[in-house]
Amino acid sequence: MNLSHRAWVSATLVTGLVGAAQAGPLVWVSMGEDAYQLLRAAGARMEQVEQRTVPIRVPGPKAGTTLGSETIHLLRVDEDALPRLSHEVHEKLNRCGGYIAHASREEGRRTIARFISPPKQALAPPNYVIDNAAQVNALLPLLQESQVRSTITKLSTEYKNRYYTTTGGVTASDGLVNTWKQLAAGRTDVTVKPYKHPAWPQRSVILTIKGTTKPKEIVVIGGHMDSTIGFTSENSIAPGADDDASGVASLQEVARVLLTSGYQPRRTLQFIAYAAEEVGLRGSAAIAADYKAQGKKVVGALQLDMTNYQGGVSDVTMITDYTNAAQNNFVKSLAAFYLPTLTVNDSACGYACSDHASWTNNGFVASFPFEAPMGQHSPYIHTAQDTLDKSGNTANHAIKFSRLALAYAVELGSDGPAPASPRP
Ligand code: IPO
Ligand code: ZN
């Protein structure tokens, strides 16, 4: 008996109520209950709807503990209804509730099944120990708020939008390749490469610092470069200053400091700006699936999506769902040790809310430190008002995430204490 098959509750065939307004191709997507209800309320043309209830598990050492459950819907929907969904999800839901795009029903079912029973991790968990305090404490003061601020300004003002299919989206991606190449200048152990996605023009960008003794073990720090306002086209204004110029700027500043200081990790470090997050996590899904297929050993991934709007009293909110509890605890311990003035709390963000889910879904360990508790994050995202002035024209909040990500990069990237410095 095929259990996974039996678990599917299928589907009333639902046809669109406003067929005339929508004439796009039907695409496979999966989403949580709340996003699905919005889609239905909007009268979107949809077919072959089926749903499963997914336990929200705490993975890792506390495996078996559940945080409750949520219903995931798999369906074919008019592609033209999706931009509006992105918009409404953010307008009407106090949490994220994104969707994942799928190539077929079978691929969608497999993906959802992997959320229910995550693939066994090929890699033994790393040692989560803090043993590089001298190095981390020497590097932390080199991080500059002004650098993060200027990157957010550049990304959010130089292009009308950074949507995955527009000129702005492609130019922004090319611009990141150039900027990151300049950061890497003079380092023979560093590469910067665009990652091509055959189905759309915007490329993801990957900066790699090759590990000295364990180059096959990879630590990923990522954020998404694309922006959206829902119905986004060539001339739409979608600054995406918080979502997610802030995350890309936070991680670029970590790369800048590691590269200019001459830091050499034992494990390979990769900084990734993902394409096409806003349209169903497509860029990160492609990369994580590719890494899995190639047997790449991703030791851990850290997602930075929205770091610069302090909507609550807490500085850092650790996302608890579709992330790894052991690594989340490590990130919290890094905050407590290196950044003791930061306040940290927990929130769930729902199905497919950012690129960490792509790593989790492919059997890798991922964490997602976020700017605010659920519902207190920037209310301007996915609109033309997502601009830096909403954060007081500073990167004071985002720089905290650079500090946390730097501690993560050096502690996990070093895999053990720094070698004793040679005697003078
Ligand atoms: C997002 C992430 C976490 C939470 I809690 C609320 C909102 C934003 C995410 N859905 C997004 O738009 N990423 O691009
Ligand atoms: Zn977004």
Q: Which ligand sits closest to the CA of 349?
A: 1
340 C-alpha to center of ligand 2: Å?
29
Domain 5-116 matching CATH 3.30.70: the answer reads yes
Tens-digit pLDDT profile for residues 105-131 = 999 998 888 877 766 666 788 999 999
Ligand nearest to the CA of 97: 1
Backbone φ, ψ for residue 214 (5° rounding)? -130, 60
Distance CA 75, CA 32 (A): 11
Q: Which tokens belong to 301?
A: 């991934």
Q: Write out pLDDT tens, residues 170-211.
A: 999 999 999 999 999 989 999 999 999 999 999 999 999 999
Strands (E), 349-389: 366-367, 369-370
Name the percent of the chain in helix, strand, coil, to the closest 5.
40, 20, 40
Rounded CA-CA distance 28/103 in Å is: 7
Q: 3-state class of 118 per DSSP?
A: coil
Residue where the block lists tokens 């665009």: 194
Catalytic residue check, 305: yes
| Residues near 250 by beta carbon (within 8 Å), at least 6 away in sequence | 148, 223, 304, 307, 308, 398, 399, 401, 402, 405
The answer to whether 377 is a known catalytic residue is no
pLDDT greater than 70 at residue 74? yes
CA of 371 to the centre of ligand 2 (A): 13
Active-site entry in 50, 277, 315, 415: 277
Alpha helices by DSSP H, listed for 158-305, are 167-184, 246-261, 282-293
Expressed in angstroms and rounded, the spacing between residue 319 Cα and the centre of ligand 1 is 10
CA angle 161, 74, 7 (to 5 degrees): 150
Indicate the domain borders of the chain: 5-116, 133-414
Tell the residue nearest (CA) to atom 7 of ligand 1: 96
Per-residue pLDDT tens over the stretch 278-301: 999 999 999 999 999 999 999 999
CATH architecture of 133-414: 3-Layer(aba) Sandwich (3.40)
